[in-house]
Amino acid sequence: MRTALSSRFLIGALALAAFSAGCSREGTSGQPTGPSTTSPAAAPEASDPSSQPSATAAPNASTTASAAAAAAPATSPGGAPGKLNVLLISIDSMRADMPWAGYPRDIAPNLTRFAKEAVSYSRHYAVSSYTAMSIGGLLAGRYPSELQRSGYFFSAYPDEELFFPEILQKAGVRTMSAQAHFYFNKNKAGFHQGFDIWDITPGISADNTTDRNITSPQHLELAQKHLSDKANTEGTFFAFYHFLDPHDMYMQHEGIESFGKKARDLYDGEMKFTDLHVGKLIDFVRAQEWGKRTAIVITADHGEAFGEHKMYRHGFELWDVLTHVPLLIHAPGITPRRIDTPRSSIDLAPTILELSGTPTDTKFQGQSLVPELYGKEPEARDVILDLPRTSDNDRKRALIHDRYKIIAYGDDDAFAVYDLVDDPGETKDLQRDKDKKDVVEQMKARYKERSTNIIDVCPKMREKLKGRKKSKPC
């Protein structure tokens, strides 16, 4: 949940503005791999370390996973094996350039093993570029611009908004969560809606500009406590744990080797520390009898910048380093493979509902990934990134279509178009290339058509919104 800062925010005025507006710091990094294809889950090539997201498994997980798959009911292509438990693990600030995607440092051995047994998405995107918007969109299955919320950076979502755990709860699915940041308190974000159990790790301090807490050990302990209670696991359940430690401040941990003193070096140590605890949680789940009928979903709310576009941390922008994140899914009966078709965390709400066997007539913006998890060939579709106007940033929205990405600034006042294959760093706006005029116009038309499906909702407390106009105040 720590916010990414561009160089223009590093002036002395930022500290005061960020504090008064409730500013948080976040960021990501990683590049897409190219046109949509589907590949077996072989080890990705190391030549493009930022191109492919993935997840990890715990020690000895391959043997356990194979046994679990063998014990699972047989499935037909495109279909899940009945009602499954679902464990959603999100890791704050986890970049796409992880070891299973070619990053040379061994900073996530457990997740890397898990990736080999999972369906791994190499071009998966968070809904937005910082926690408040990304998690809000994930839980609602809709874009944050469509949701009732406050107009501050740390947005609060009211009870009137429907989050998918509420649908699970009403269907009799047990819902539980433990979180590790003060923003997740019940009186802050509103993310607790629909959860039978909602705990916060004890002893955390509140700082809306960074995160000084070390929480993975306590977070793991709470998760295992939840999952050890038969009252929570005797029926179908959904559990959600968002691990925070890779968020800045980046700290060294006893027992984790030092990779150096630079920000990325310290971040890598934080990732290995978090991976250790996530691996223990995966091992714990797979050791339970109910683990044979449990799907595990691992992703991130955003990435992290380490100087790309003169940015550090996250938020404020929609560059790929901030939005391109891993997605790894393992479930009974799946065949591990890599999917290179662009996908979004907006798809996770309908996916989790279908995995748990929960019907719904709710209109989500995304589509369930279950058919392609169980063998159906992925169909191409566009990805939308949504950064609503808040007290700390003007509105930005982006669309990804195949190899191209268009970013719209403000109320579609200006655009930039990039070729993510030839220019994964997003350094060359195709509007400056006369030979790409047709591509630019097609992307603008596609963006404008797709945007008509997003009905913007004016937030409360909108008098401080950045870039607001008298004619269009939100």
The predicted structure's pLDDT at residue 78: 59
Is the separation of the CB atoms in 128 and 325 below 8 Å? no
- The structural domains of the chain, ordered by start, are 49-381 (3.40.720.10), 384-464 (3.30.1120.10)
Closest CA to 412 of 368, 463, 469: 469
Torsion of CA 16, 19, 21, 25, to 10 degrees: 110
Q: What confidence tens digit (pLDDT) does each residue in 329-339 have?
A: 999 999 999 99
The predicted structure's pLDDT at residue 206: 76
**Residue 474: which pLDDT band, with cuts at 50, 70 and 90?**
confident
Lowest average pLDDT, out of 60-64, 209-213, 295-299, goes to 60-64
Dist. CA 65–CA 55, nearest whole Å: 14
Please determine, for residue 77, whether its predicted confidence score (pLDDT) is greater than 60.
Answer: no
Sheet holding 383-387, edge to edge: 383-387, 396-401, 404-409, 414-419
Please determine, for residue 53, whether its predicted confidence score (pLDDT) is greater than 90.
Answer: no
**Residue 23: which pLDDT band, with cuts at 50, 70 and 90?**
very low
Is the separation of the CB atoms in 72 and 289 below 8 Å? no
Dist. CA 258–CA 52, nearest whole Å: 25
Please determine, for residue 85, whether its predicted confidence score (pLDDT) is greater than 60.
Answer: yes
The predicted structure's pLDDT at residue 256: 95
**Residue 472: which pLDDT band, with cuts at 50, 70 and 90?**
confident
Q: What confidence tens digit (pLDDT) does each residue in 280-302 have?
A: 999 999 999 999 999 999 999 99
The predicted structure's pLDDT at residue 152: 86
Closest CA to 405 of 50, 37, 125: 125
Over residues 395-402, the mean pLDDT reads 97
Q: What confidence tens digit (pLDDT) does each residue in 183-205 have?
A: 988 888 999 999 999 999 998 88
The predicted structure's pLDDT at residue 16: 33
What is residue 328's DSSP assignment?
E
Q: What would the two tokens of residue 74 be?
A: 């047989």
Dist. CA 385–CA 317, nearest whole Å: 10
**CA separation, residue 11 to residues 6, 16, 17, 18, 262 (Å):** 10, 10, 11, 11, 21
Q: Which residues of 30-59 are buried (b: 16+ CB within 10 A; e: fewer)?
A: bbbbbebeeeebeebeeebbbbbbbbbbbe
The set of residues, in sequence order, having a beta carbon less than 8 Å from that of 229 and lying 6+ positions away, is none
Over residues 375-394, the mean pLDDT reads 95
**Structure-model confidence comparison of residues 33 and 217, the more confident one:** 217
Please confirm whether the linkage preceding 249 is cis (ω < 30° from 0): yes
Q: What confidence tens digit (pLDDT) does each residue in 119-153 have?
A: 999 999 999 999 999 999 999 999 999 999 998 88
Q: What pTM value is reported for the model? A: 0.84
The predicted structure's pLDDT at residue 7: 38
Average pLDDT taken over every residue of the chain: 85
Percent of the chain's residues with pLDDT above 90: 71
Dist. CA 149–CA 458, nearest whole Å: 8
Please determine, for residue 312, whether its predicted confidence score (pLDDT) is greater than 70.
Answer: yes
**Structure-model confidence comparison of residues 431 and 210, the more confident one:** 431
Write out the DSSP string of 122-190. TTEE-SSSSHHHHHHHHHHTS-GGGS--BSSSS----TTSPPHHHHHHHTT-EEEEEE-SGGGSTTTT-
The predicted structure's pLDDT at residue 237: 98
Neighbouring-strand partners of residue 40: 337
Q: What confidence tens digit (pLDDT) does each residue in 340-377 have?
A: 999 999 999 999 999 999 998 888 999 999 999 999 99
**Residue 72: which pLDDT band, with cuts at 50, 70 and 90?**
very low
Over residues 197-224, the mean pLDDT reads 88
